[in-house]
Structure 1
Amino acid sequence: MDKNNYGLTLLTLSMIIKNEEKYLERCLSSAKEITDEIVIVDTGSTDNSKQIAQSFGAKTFDYKWCNDFSAARNFALEKSTGDWILYLDADEEINQHSIPEIQKIKNTKQTKAFNCKIRNVNEFTGRESLMTYPRLFPNIKSLAFQGKVHEQILTSLKSNNIKIENSNIEIIHYGYNLSKEDFKKKAERNLKLLLDEYACNKSPYVEFQIGQTYNILENGEQAAKYFQLAVKDKNLERDYLSTAHRVLSHYYLEKMNMDEAANHIEKSIQYDDRQPVSFLHRARLNSLTNQKEKCFSDIEKVMNVIYNLRETTDEYLQIITISEEEVFCEAIKYSLMFDETEKFKFYFSEYEKRCSNLTLRFIPDFIDIIKSIAEKKKIPTEISGCKLEERHLEIFVLLIKKLNVNYEIYFSVFENWFNKSFLFNKEYGMLLLAKGELELAEEKLSTAQLLNDNDPSVYFFLLSVFISKNQIDKAKKHIEKIGFKFSSNNRLLSKINMIKEKLFHT
């Protein structure tokens, strides 16, 4: 590496942007102490992005967008003159605790790349994800990004025999901190680029990324298709193989194919046993197949993995984290499902101790509602409940059923918070059916079916409503619909055929 007149190596912050005025100032401010040169390639901004960049002394270059993120990144590399390259997105910032480590690396003479820890913030789902990826590397002209979207430098570093070391440099990424609608719009843009690339490059990495994108777009069939293709190549990164098998497990669970769901989650954990979401999913599968001990064992594994992640410095491509609050909710839920009173008391007590000091607004509401139901009292009117999530509702419903309390005084309140929830409409419909309030039961169950048409239990409860109302023709049409919808579900076929036999021969 060449050095300047003062004997120090120089670092270039290399970026591509388009209409990033919302984030850009925060990003550049976070890096100003360690950058000697800022190179920003603008692919068509119509806002004040370039002016903000220039106020930080950045060299800005216009680039005609050609639907290829790597092409734009490589143009930025061509314009970069520093000895080191640090690349960021505008919706990222450097954790200020990482500045001394970057300073130390840039002032040494070495031809190495460094993995940085990227923390993806998502306030909408409440889950963060962690990943490591080389973001700091020597400015060697033979290095180039690859991939029209989800562009990578890793392959080029490896082909150039550049050693990659781990670091504790943390980059905070806000690009996933989007509403569901905005996240889908971003995925739709990426999908077109990925499919264009796949037409020329049928690699397992691109298949994986297409599967991920279809999964975001909630197109389960297409996601499963591309994940099945990706996992055929066992040389794909283990993290990607693990994720693909986990999503396939979710897919088969929705189809009520428990054997395939179990098979894929086992493969997922075999490829990567550091993913708390994998153990959480397996706990759910074990609960559905009435394997109590395995279910609670997986909950404990989730907790252990979470605690170990706080200390680890291992390399990983991506780990989806889970909050303690979410894990304790799952533990409380399974305690109620399996009628484990002592476990319920223990986990709820731990929830109070460990979660009460968190800043999540719904925690006090959740605790107070649980206590109200346990004491068979009305929910206090001052509880807003607006931030409660469906996992909390699931616990409320289980506790109401366990204690056999008057559900009406609680569901009338829940309706204000969860009226668009599948779970609320399903559970309320079931309770109304049991009470014989058939009109309202049909309304709630029909709403539940619209919200989630993959749950066979809703179809069967609706069938019970029609039979109870002596609407036999409607019931016959409905059982035909069930048979068509779940024709590939061998577990349900015998039940469907038995009901058909009774309906069509009465």
Structure 2
Amino acid sequence: MISISLCMIVKNEEQVLSRCLDSVKDLVDEINIVDTGSGDGTVEIARAYTDRVYFFEWTGKFTDARNESFRHATKEYIIYLDADDVMLEEDRAKLKKLKNSLDPAVDSVSMYYNAGVDEFGNVTLKYRRNRLVKRSRYYRWEGDCHNYLNVYGNIINSDISITHMKIQHSVGRNLSIYEDKIARGDEFSPRDYFYYGNELRENGLYKQAIESYTKNIELKEGWVEDKVYACINRADCYHYLNDSQGEMSSLFESLCYSKTPRPEMCSRVGYIFQCKGEYESAIYWYELATSHKEDPDKWSFTYPAYSTWYPHLQLCVCYDRITNLEKAYEHNELARKFRPKDKNVLYNKELLEKKMGID
């Protein structure tokens, strides 16, 4: 059996810290918590779980704080969590099994990060991260914002998930980190341009986001998966700016990098045709989205809604518009499997049953 150090950085997390630690405390052999300046009860809560609580002056870079937390680990492997993360029961069981069976020759175990969950328990965004890493490899965090562990060696992919359950979103915090980076005259990597574009988009700065995504796409360097989603996310910005031509062009440009269409792209193209009343074309793209088979080894972003309930819900609408009520009802029922109490789904069900004479 391997031994595991949990390493965390925290600041003003009294609302969520206990929930996180309760979900993992019996699975790790050591808890290291680095506080970066809390003004609430975070430190007191942390000390109820461990005497390994440390203090680190905030430098403006998450990388510095995360590397400091790793410095205090003493066990064979390190696992890291944010305070608003949890391990659900199914994943706790999987981690316990992994801890008992992991080959010590493994340098890193990747896990899914369920970065968002809707009101029905459906994961809205997930991607892989190197989550359990061998301490003796001295892996380092890199990047000022949206940090990543620079991991290499013997890496295996697991089906374990860490679930993010945020209570509130720090609006503008990450954007300011990038703005400070610009003010210092720091050079941006392709990755920086992608994530800066994401921050600009989330803050409604669509024109600037388009510029940042375009810089990522035009650079020869950079991860191809970032370029796929730079095209798709840039299309969203064009959509918000009512530029349908730019939106469509950006969506199809994603094919230059993905080679085959992603559900996120297909569902957006379907919606463009749906809004134009071109329902047969919309149906083609929505059905293509639902036919996608998930790659369990994919590391980049996956938005499950775009291959599950969302295209089925829109297919219900499109088939209803061309008076194919049986197909409309079929797809609404498929959407209902994912969102059983969704008001739109239930309304469609009632309406279609009336039209079809179903008691």
Q: Normalized against structure 1, the TM-score is what?
A: 0.63
Runs of at least 5 residues in structure 2 that lack an aligned partner in the other structure: none
SS in 1 for 2:162: strand
Instruction: Give 1:356 deviation, angstroms.
Output: 7.0
Higher relative contact order (CA 8 A, sep 6+): 2
Q: 2:4 aligns with which of 11, 24, 45?
A: 11
Higher alpha-carbon Rg: 1
Instruction: Give 1:38 deviation, angstroms.
Output: 0.4
- 1:199-249 superposed Cα distances (whole Å, 9 cap, x missing partner): 313111111111000100111111001011111124422321111101222
Runs of at least 5 residues in structure 1 that lack an aligned partner in the other structure: 1-7, 376-506
Q: 1:280 aligns with which of 244, 247, 267?
A: 267
- 1:177-211 superposed Cα distances (whole Å, 9 cap, x missing partner): 64xxxx4xx24111111222343131111111110
Distance (whole Å) between structure 2 residues aligned to residue 284 and residue 318 of structure 1: 21
Match of 2:177 in 1: 193
Instruction: Give 1:292 deviation, angstroms.
Output: 4.6
Q: 2:191 aligns with which of 205, 214, 221?
A: 205
Q: 2:125 aligns with which of 122, 125, 129?
A: 129
> Percent identity over the alignment?
20
- 1:72-124 superposed Cα distances (whole Å, 9 cap, x missing partner): 00111111111101011011112332335434544532241111011122437
- 1:140-171 superposed Cα distances (whole Å, 9 cap, x missing partner): 36421112221110xx213xxx2322111111
Instruction: Give 1:291 deviation, angstroms.
Output: 5.4
Choose between structure 1 and 2: higher helix proportion.
1
Is the alpha carbon distance of 1:118 and 1:127 closer, same or farther for their aligned partners in structure 2, counting shifts above 3 Å? Answer: closer
Is the alpha carbon distance of 1:104 and 1:263 closer, same or farther for their aligned partners in structure 2, counting shifts above 3 Å? Answer: same
Match of 2:348 in 1: 367
Instruction: Give 1:299 deviation, angstroms.
Output: 0.8
Is the alpha carbon distance of 1:263 and 1:41 closer, same or farther for their aligned partners in structure 2, counting shifts above 3 Å? Answer: same
Q: 1:218 aligns with which of 204, 208, 219?
A: 204
Distance (whole Å) between structure 2 residues aligned to residue 208 and residue 77 of structure 1: 27
The 8 Å contact of residues 129 and 319 in structure 1, kept in 2 or not, is answered as: yes
Write the letter of the residue equivalent to 1:112. Answer: D
SS in 1 for 2:305: coil
Distance (whole Å) between structure 2 residues aligned to residue 218 and residue 207 of structure 1: 16
- Number of aligned pairs? 349
The 8 Å contact of residues 210 and 223 in structure 1, kept in 2 or not, is answered as: yes
Distance (whole Å) between structure 1 residues aligned to residue 203 and residue 323 of structure 2: 40
SS in 2 for 1:46: coil
Write the letter of the residue equivalent to 1:150. Answer: H
Confirm or deny that 1:144 pairs with 2:131. Answer: no
Distance (whole Å) between structure 1 residues aligned to residue 225 and residue 345 of structure 2: 37
Write the letter of the residue equivalent to 1:44. Answer: G
Distance (whole Å) between structure 2 residues aligned to residue 368 and residue 317 of structure 1: 35
Distance (whole Å) between structure 1 residues aligned to residue 106 and residue 305 of structure 2: 37
Choose between structure 1 and 2: higher strand proportion.
2
Confirm or deny that 1:31 pairs with 2:24. Answer: yes
Write the letter of the residue equivalent to 2:301. Answer: Q
Q: 2:288 aligns with which of 290, 296, 301?
A: 301
Match of 1:456 in 2: none
Instruction: Give 1:261 deviation, angstroms.
Output: 2.7
Distance (whole Å) between structure 2 residues aligned to residue 16 and residue 327 of structure 1: 39
Match of 2:246 in 1: 260
- 1:426-479 superposed Cα distances (whole Å, 9 cap, x missing partner): xxxxxxxxxxxxxxxxxxxxxxxxxxxxxxxxxxxxxxxxxxxxxxxxxxxxxx
Distance (whole Å) between structure 1 residues aligned to residue 238 and residue 351 of structure 2: 33
Match of 1:329 in 2: 313
Distance (whole Å) between structure 2 residues aligned to residue 291 and residue 372 of structure 1: 25
Match of 2:218 in 1: 232
- 1:403-439 superposed Cα distances (whole Å, 9 cap, x missing partner): xxxxxxxxxxxxxxxxxxxxxxxxxxxxxxxxxxxxx
The 8 Å contact of residues 106 and 155 in structure 2, kept in 1 or not, is answered as: no
Confirm or deny that 1:346 pairs with 2:327. Answer: yes
Is the alpha carbon distance of 1:258 and 1:143 closer, same or farther for their aligned partners in structure 2, counting shifts above 3 Å? Answer: same
